[in-house]
Every structure is written in structure tokens, then in C-alpha cells.
A and B are shown apart, each in its own frame.
Chain A
Amino acid sequence: MNREPATNRFLFTAGALLGLLALTVGAAYVNLGPFNTIAALTISAAKTVLILVFFMEIRERSPVIWVALATGFFFFGIMFALAMSDFLTRGWK
């Protein structure tokens, strides 16, 4: 059976996502100290990139859409940074 390139791409992406799921569960049972959370979030970010690139086809979308997406992340970053500048510094004397 001849498969289209898109079919292989979707199957590869799904396989990679399930592999990363297994990796994130496995990594949680190894004591990495504070790096457990960092590893988990890094794997989540990798999954997000796979979904954005191969399922949502972000590279084929127009630049105006990249701006819309980047704006969402940018203001999320501002919300997080400003809030954490409070929460993380409350203990400072």
C-alpha cells in the first residue's frame, strides 16, 4: 500500500507523542531533585512543539497568525513574570 507523506508524518508524530508520554511518566519515578519538574515541563514543551508543527501546521500558516499566537504567549509571560516577581520575593528581607 502506498502511503502519502502526510500519513507517515501524522503516524510518526503520534508515535513520538506517545513515546514522550512514556518518557515523562518514567522520568517522574527517578529522583532528579528540582529537575523532575523542569524535565516534565520540558517534555510537555516538546510535545507542544510537535502538535503545533505537525498537527496545527503552524509553519504553513501566514505570519499574521504567528503574531496572534506569539501575542498569547507574550502576555502569558508578562502575567507570570509580574506575579512571580511578587510571590518569589516575599521572603526577601
Chain B
Amino acid sequence: MPDSTLAHAPQFDDASQQRESATFGMWIFLATEILFFGAMFLGYTAYRLAYPAAFAAASRHTLLAFGATNTAVLLISSATMAFAVRAAREKRRTALTVRLLLTAALGVLFLCIKGFEYAREISEHLLPGASFQFDQPYASHAEMFFYLYFLMTGVHALHVTIGVVLIAISGFRAWRTDAFMRNDTAVDLLGLYWHFVDIIWVFLFPLIYLVERHS
């Protein structure tokens, strides 16, 4: 929606060029994020190909109910975020505020479930390190699985945390300030980031929780 009446920074010709630049910047950031997470997915692939039986045994120790619930929570939060972006474009303040805060709340719920899951795993001695315990003969290779598990879900959870903070701040700004309602670019970019974090989880979920579940 080109709107030349919007204020724009001096380095841009008009508001629509400013908007396109900001959007392009977010997509470039997401492209670099593909490579950032990609390196960890590569490490996972290399170790899983090397130690398939240990990875299957380790995966069966992950808590599928927690993981599946969290996947649903994140997918639903992506939908509420899409609705928030729609409300921002339509300049509907109450709808935008409610949808952003609902998305942030679902993000918090995801982090809480993840936290309970981590606590269970740590109490079952699955955190790699001195106290790690796993049935032989897979102990050392299962430890590699759990190292990758804590690394990848931890970095993902960090992304969720950043998203929750930014979405919650945007929710309060939508509620409180008129300037925020005039320009919907920020909410659009936040939506892109949030959906991307969702996509990362969509791949993490089967690789962590669903390895050889049938046997």
C-alpha cells in the first residue's frame, strides 16, 4: 500500500521506498539465519548419519507430548501473528493490541513448556556434561544427540524470547502511541521474523522427537 504522505527518513525518496528497504533488510537477515541454523542442522545430519542407532535411542528419551504441544502452540501463534499484521494494515488498534499480546502470550507458553521439559531432562541426567547418564552402548553418542538438542532448541528458544519481547513491546506501543499505528512496517517485519522462527521449529520437531519412534 504506497502511502506517500507518511513521514520518511532523509535517506529515502519516499515512504514506500523506506518500507521496501526495511522489508528487504529483514529478508536478508532471515537468509543469513537460514545459514546460521543451517550449520547446526548440518552438524546434526553428520552425527546422525554416523551414529543412527544412538540417535534413535536418544530420541526415544525426548518428551514427545511436550514437543508436539509446543509445535501446536507455535503454529497457532503464527496464525495470531498473521492476524496481527492484518490488523496493523487496517489500522485497527484494539485488534492489533489484542493479537500482538496473544501472540506474545503463546510465545511465553512455548517457553514455559520448554522450561519444564528441560527440567525433566536435566533431572533424568540427559544434560551433557559430568552428570550425563545413558544406557550403554550408546552413552557417548547419545550425549552428542543431547548436546545438539540443547544447543539447537536453546538457540531457538533465544529467538523465541527475543520475538516475545519485541512483540510485547509492540503490543503496548500499539495500545499507547498514535505514531505506532501510522506505520505498519514494524509489525509486518516482526511477523516475518516470528514465522521464520516457527519454520525452524517445524524442522527441529521431527529431527528431535520422531527418530525411529515405531520400534
Contact = CB atoms under 8 A, between A and B. Distances in A.
Interface residues of A, number: 45
Q: Which 4 A-B residue pairings sit nearest by Cβ, starting from the closest?
A: A72-B31, A40-B206, A14-B79, A72-B34
A79 interface: yes
B85 to A, nearest CB: 8
Contacts of B78: 14, 17, 51, 55
A34 to B, nearest CB: 10
A36 B195 contact: no
Contacts of A80: 38, 42, 45
Given A55-B191, A79-B42, A68 B31 contact: yes
Contacts of B68: 21, 25
A65 B192 CA distance: 12
Interface residues of B, number: 47
A49 B136 CA distance: 41
A79 B203 contact: no
Given A10-B83, A41-B203, A48-B199, A65 B75 contact: no
B72 A87 contact: no
Contacts, number: 120
Q: Taking each of B64, B76, B205, which has the highest tally of chain A beta carbons within 10 Å of its own beta carbon?
A: B205
Contact of A11 (B39, B45, B46, B79): B79
Nearest to A75: B35
B124 interface: no
Given A72-B30, A72-B35, A36 B202 contact: no
Interface in B174-204: 191-192, 195-196, 198-199, 202-203
B210 A24 contact: yes
A36 B214 contact: yes
Interface of A: 6-7, 10-11, 13-14, 17-18, 21, 24-25, 28-31, 36-37, 40-41, 43-44, 47-48, 51-52, 54-56, 61-62, 64-65, 68-69, 71-73, 75-76, 79-80, 83-84, 87-88
A82 to B, nearest CB: 10
Contact of A51 (B72, B198, B214): B198
A71 B34 CA distance: 10
Contact of A28 (B31, B72, B199, B210): B210
B215 interface: yes
19 contacts: A10-B86, A17-B78, A21-B71, A25-B68, A28-B213, A41-B203, A44-B205, A47-B202, A55-B82, A56-B195, A56-B196, A61-B23, A61-B27, A65-B23, A65-B27, A72-B32, A76-B35, A80-B38, A80-B45
B81 interface: yes
Contact of A87 (B35, B46, B86): B46
Given A28-B206, A28-B213, A55-B82, A18 B72 contact: yes
A31 B46 contact: no
B206 A87 contact: no
